[in-house]
Amino acid sequence: MDARPPGQKPLPVVVVGGSAGALEPLRELVAHLPADFPAALLVVIHCPPDLPSYLPQILQSAGSLPVSAVQQPAALESGHIYVAPPNRHLLVGRDEVRPSRGPRENRSRPSVDVLFRSAAYTHRASVIGVLLSGMLGDGTSGLWTIKRLGGQAIVQHPEEALYPSMPLSALQEVAVDTILPVRDIAGDLLTRLGAPNFGQGAAEMDEHEWRRLQLEVSIADEGNAFAGGILTGGDPSPFTCPECHGTMVKIQEGRTLRFRCHTGHAYSAPALLGELHRAAEANLWTTVRGMEEQVMLLDHLAKHAAEAGQLHTAELYRSEAAAVRRRIEPLRRLLWQDGALPVQPVE
């Protein structure tokens, strides 16, 4: 996916991202957009990968703009809403939009960050990013990229958001242009898109950041992260990828730290922490399961030895089984103990 050549004015693009609690705000936003909306609108809302999505039908009934689920490459047009299908990223090209099976980011496909980055890469300052309700921090990196390339950022007011984590994350790490209740976002978009200087924002991205952005957009577009040199895109990390156990690098964006592995999976720091918490709990359950299997085998051997008249051997097996049972109990108490394993929200 190549960036637009200098001097060629891109189509205005509005990218909208959200997760838990974002459906109703998104419906309200779409309901207030006019039929002659002067930009393409692209939407990523986190959704289960293995269930059908009714988001296109919901948005079509909410407003006057045509809505499409992007199942294959499609021409990018003003006054049209494009929605990411389940288990596919949504990528913005120069003149088209297309789905991708690229690696998950922040445990999600589609990912808000992927959409926002690809839009900024191809449309530069002609992008407005809108971040709605959701948990954790997907969208923060993408908004940062939009701003670094001269675009604009709008965040739903956290006090209004049903789940304020995503808006708060963006506000903490990105110099957003405005914080608004949803009822005011449509009007603000029209004002910004109609401004004489729209699309003329100055880019602040340095050469290193630009090369990394090129690579990350390529990874989302099913490119080879390792062959592309992702391991040179940041400092080595002591952590391995929770999904594939690949080597990870740390990526610094302003004050924000995130991680990407050599096969392409990416995590914000909170998302990686959540995965490590879940891995720790899964490992404890695996240990308990293995020890209970020991008990079952020892009980079986004790019964077999007793039936064979080997009473001393049977007692040794029973004694060892009792010892293993005693060792299991502290692990179970740790699993049940409130706060012993910090819990991260799951969307």
Query: What residue ranges in 208-332 does DSSP mark as E strands?
Result: 235-240, 247-253, 256-261, 266-268
β-strands 256-261, 266-268 pairing: antiparallel
Amino acid at 294: Q
Amino acid at 240: T
Q: Which residues are catalytic?
A: 19, 46, 138
Report d(CA 311, CA 29) in Å as an integer.
Answer: 77
Copy the structure tokens of residue 60. Answer: 């079509």
203: left (phi over 0), alpha (psi -120 to 50) or beta: beta
Mapped onto helix, strand or coil, the DSSP state of residue 304 is helix
Rounded to 5, what percent of the chain is helix, strand, coil?
A: 45, 20, 40
The single-letter DSSP state of residue 108 is B
Neighbours of 50 (CB within 10 A): 7
Tokens of 97: 């939009």
User: In this structure, which amino acid lies at residue 2?
Assistant: D
How many residues belong to the chain? 347
Closest CA to 254 of 176, 199, 179, 202: 176
DSSP structure string for 110-148: S-HHHHHHHHHHHHGGGEEEEE-S-STTTTHHHHHHHHH
